[in-house]
Structure 1
Amino acid sequence: MKSRENTQPMWTKEFILLALSNFFMFTSFYMLLPTLPIFVVKVLKGSVDQVGLIIGFFTTAQIFSRPLAGRWLDTIGRKKIFLWSRLLFLIIMIGYLGMKGLLLFFILRFLHGFSFGMATTASGTMVADLIPNERRAEGLGYYSGFASMAMVVGPTLGLWAIHLSNFSMMFILCSTLAALSVLLGSLIQYNEPTKNASTNTTRSFSWRQFIEPNAVFISIISMLLLALYGGIVSFISLYAQDLGMATIAGYFFSVYSLSILVARPITGKIADKYGASYVIYPGMIGCILGIILLSQAHSMIAFLLAGLLIGLGFGAIQPSLHAKVIQSVPSERRGAATATYFISADLGIASGAFVLGFIANAIGYRGMFLSTTLLILLGLLLYWVYSRMNARKTEEAPSQEASAG
């Protein structure tokens, strides 16, 4: 059991401003998820295939931006990249107003994905610096909870805007929220960490400038779990339609999102006090049980209970894995570490949706969802290996110090 002395406050003005800034940016982002496909088809006269390409452009740009963001955060400065990326996000959001052609829309979506990847990597790095070490998992749980709230509010707000008014009003509302994100972010008083001399003097190209090796193992575990998430967001609606329960998908996501929102701060406290393994192992077991239930669901109750178990599982796992990544590196490498972790998340969601689509075509949605339990089992095995490796290092460190003395 870890000792816990909360000598430093977590709910500082800077932490609250950063969390609120992130909430407004994520709300504007989530407003676009259900509405942009409608905008492309009805206003820009695009095809369903082009809707898929637009999503792909955004995701590709997001993945491409993260290693650059990680490097620039550790060299140029975190507050600068944080504000520049949010300002670019705002400018592009305003650019959607009066949009007429698909080509320009594709370009804007690529730039939007780039700015969003930069902005989320920057805020994910800064919040790790603002949270006291002894409350890191708890703090990341609360922080990511603001994004979970945006996931609940954003899609409903976006659909409400286009139904009550039009797309222009929706884009104005999105731009207003993005502007609030910039305004609140500019008020944050942030002290840049002391840079290691090698951080700025390295001139020759090396992948280590962009990817943090110490974060790779945990990031792979996260990627496996988020491949499952990619399958859920891509196919849960189609699965529900196949079962004759088309409307249940929306309720599933509501239960899932609220479960994450509840789980994150509670499990974060447990992880900080007793260790991450006390929430990661139960979280993975919860995900497995939820997926098995989802794959065999025949009723609304089964669907919602599956959403509850999967949400609680993800809510327990993700902040603790993120905290592990941050703890594995010195402060001047947190930008690269956060970028590495978020790249794995993007790749997991994208590859999960792609590969699981082929599996669904081959064996159906039930079989596809059931097969994703293998991803979680592999993640569980890798986390056990990681924990054993860390325990061995901890045991060896005192003996090496004793022999040196």
Structure 2
Amino acid sequence: MSNRLWTKDYISVCLTTFFMFLNYYYLLVTIPIYLIQDLQGNTAQAGLLVAAFYVAAIFIRFVAGRWIESFGIKKVFIVSLIIYLGAAFMYFLTTSLFSLLILRVIHGIGFGMLTTATGTIVATIIPNSRKGEGMGYYGLMMNISMALGPFVGLLTMNQWGSFVMFAVSAVSVLIGTFTAFLISLPKQDKKDEMIIQPKKKGVKINDLIELSALRISLVSFYFAIVYSSIVSFVSVYAEERQLTEVASYFFIVYVIALMISRPFTGKWFDQHGANVIMIPSIISFALGMFLLSQASGAFLFLLSAAFIGLGWGTIFPTAQTVAIQIAPSNRKGTATATYLSTMDSGIGIGSVIVGILGAQIGYSTLYLYSSIFVILGLLVYYFLHGKESHNIREQINEQALEVK
């Protein structure tokens, strides 16, 4: 098996992920504005739209992993592209809260299926010896889109209005669909379809959840609760601290720190295992949250972004790599679905908790407590995965040798 990472298929799946996530983050910030300005909605209804998208994506992922095993990755991937692309063009037709709500559910279903499929594809095409490096760059595509999506979305919406905003959204998905069809899906998928166990009576919990990936997924869930306070409320905190002018640069610094570190962290994972990456990343995340809680000026505010980027931005792809590596070869799709659904659940639940606590104690105090919460996560990581990391790594190496 070739040890090359930057193949046509890998580049294509990374570009597909970038454009699809760009669309996701782009609409995440612009849909509430569209609802309020164009459809005369309110903030409570905007929150309902966000929740509807997340709930649809989380629930569909559990069955999407099962579908990949039952029908093959190609069919699920193509259906997800059709749903996601169709939804992007249907925004032009929304004229009420109800129609927008239904569309966000459909879009969430497409997003959940698509991210499960692409996560499974990329895990399959990356050489085993370069899994950490490959998944790291794949995760970086999501991080870059997270920084650019809101920036481009707000600029487009404010300058040219909702019609152009939806047009740019549709174009981004169109480009992502084009790059998706450049991917040569793994040939073994057809064999996998022949191995499927049809006519299974009933559905068991392990048909929908990959239990081997659950422990590391719960680690990600724990830290995602804190990350939700960043993605949902850091702009509110910046306004509270009179740092509105630099707020838009928070995620730019976040991504720059990630881009600088990514060539090293992925290779270190492949060479030394998860602990060497996860433990420093957790500490960096905690330090970033502490600096954010103390930020009264632009320097500390942006410095915290760098440490948070190095922290959560490395924890997310590293934990996802572990989840995929430890799953049986025919359960990669379910492992991907288990990991992403668990992580998204952490962000969804965290957003509710953080919203309540932030209003009660203030975001500065909330971020201070969050830094302590993250440090305690070292224990969570150790007991759920860290203490077994060395043994798991040896098992993976033995399996790799057997394949050779």
TM-score, length-scaled by structure 1: 0.91
Could you say which residue in structure 2 is the equivalent of 1:388? 387
Gaps of 5+ in 1: 1-5, 398-405
Q: Structure 2: which amino acid aligns with 1:219?
A: S
Q: Distance in 1 between matches of 2:146 and 2:233?
A: 18
Q: 5 Å matches for 1:93-104?
A: 93-104=88-99
1:160 aligns with 2:176: no
Could you say which residue in structure 2 is the equivalent of 1:275? 273
Among all aligned residue pairs of Structure 1 and Structure 2, give the percentage whose two residues are the same amino acid. Answer: 36
Q: 5 Å matches for 1:3-402?
A: 7-190=2-185, 191-193=187-189, 194-195=191-192, 197=195, 199-200=197-198, 202-385=200-383, 386-391=385-390
Q: Distance in 2 between matches of 1:127 and 1:293?
A: 35
Q: Distance in 1 between matches of 2:156 and 2:238?
A: 26
Relative to 1, partners in 2 of residues 1:289 and 1:393: Cα closer, same or farther, differing over 3 Å? closer
Q: Distance in 1 between matches of 2:136 and 2:59?
A: 26
Q: Map Cα deviations across residues 54-110 of structure 1 (whole Å, 9 max, x no partner).
A: 111111111111101111111111122112112111111111113211111110011
- Secondary structure of the residue that 1:97 maps to in structure 2? helix
Q: Distance in 2 between matches of 1:353 and 1:253?
A: 18
Q: Distance in 2 between matches of 1:305 and 1:391?
A: 33
**Structure 1 stretch displaced more, 337-346 or 234-243:** 234-243
Post-superposition shift, 1:352? 1.0
Q: Distance in 2 between matches of 1:189 and 1:73?
A: 16
Q: Map Cα deviations across residues 97-130 of structure 1 (whole Å, 9 max, x no partner).
A: 1321111111001111111111011101110001
Post-superposition shift, 1:244? 2.1
- Secondary structure of the residue that 1:45 maps to in structure 2? coil
Q: Distance in 1 between matches of 2:227 and 2:261?
A: 17
Q: Structure 1: which amino acid aligns with 2:22?
A: T
Q: Distance in 1 between matches of 2:132 and 2:393?
A: 20
- Asked if the contact 1:260/1:314 (under 8 Å) is kept, the reply is no
Relative to 1, partners in 2 of residues 1:87 and 1:383: Cα closer, same or farther, differing over 3 Å? same
Post-superposition shift, 1:221? 0.4
Relative to 1, partners in 2 of residues 1:216 and 1:374: Cα closer, same or farther, differing over 3 Å? farther
- Asked if the contact 1:74/1:199 (under 8 Å) is kept, the reply is no
Number of positions where the alignment pairs a residue of Structure 1 with one of Structure 2: 392
Q: Distance in 2 between matches of 1:7 and 1:186?
A: 22
**Structure 1 stretch displaced more, 306-315 or 365-374:** 365-374
- Asked if the contact 1:136/1:272 (under 8 Å) is kept, the reply is yes
- Asked if the contact 1:264/1:319 (under 8 Å) is kept, the reply is no
- Asked if the contact 2:65/2:333 (under 8 Å) is kept, the reply is yes
Post-superposition shift, 1:175? 1.2
Post-superposition shift, 1:37? 1.3
- Asked if the contact 2:143/2:313 (under 8 Å) is kept, the reply is no
- Asked if the contact 1:229/1:349 (under 8 Å) is kept, the reply is yes
- Asked if the contact 2:273/2:390 (under 8 Å) is kept, the reply is no
Q: Structure 2: which amino acid aligns with 1:93?
A: A
Q: Structure 2: which amino acid aligns with 1:389?
A: E
Q: Distance in 1 between matches of 2:392 and 2:312?
A: 28
- Asked if the contact 2:273/2:389 (under 8 Å) is kept, the reply is no
Post-superposition shift, 1:395? 8.9
Relative to 1, partners in 2 of residues 1:28 and 1:393: Cα closer, same or farther, differing over 3 Å? closer
Q: Distance in 1 between matches of 2:388 and 2:22?
A: 40
Relative to 1, partners in 2 of residues 1:165 and 1:364: Cα closer, same or farther, differing over 3 Å? closer
- Asked if the contact 1:224/1:375 (under 8 Å) is kept, the reply is no
- Asked if the contact 2:151/2:248 (under 8 Å) is kept, the reply is no
Q: Distance in 1 between matches of 2:52 and 2:25?
A: 17
- Asked if the contact 2:5/2:126 (under 8 Å) is kept, the reply is yes
Q: Distance in 1 between matches of 2:247 and 2:92?
A: 31
Could you say which residue in structure 1 is the equivalent of 2:402? none
- Secondary structure of the residue that 1:8 maps to in structure 2? coil
Q: Structure 2: which amino acid aligns with 1:39?
A: Y
- Secondary structure of the residue that 2:244 maps to in structure 1? coil
Q: Distance in 2 between matches of 1:35 and 1:156?
A: 10
- Secondary structure of the residue that 1:127 maps to in structure 2? helix
**Structure 1 stretch displaced more, 383-392 or 334-343:** 383-392
Post-superposition shift, 1:52? 0.8
TM-score, length-scaled by structure 2: 0.92
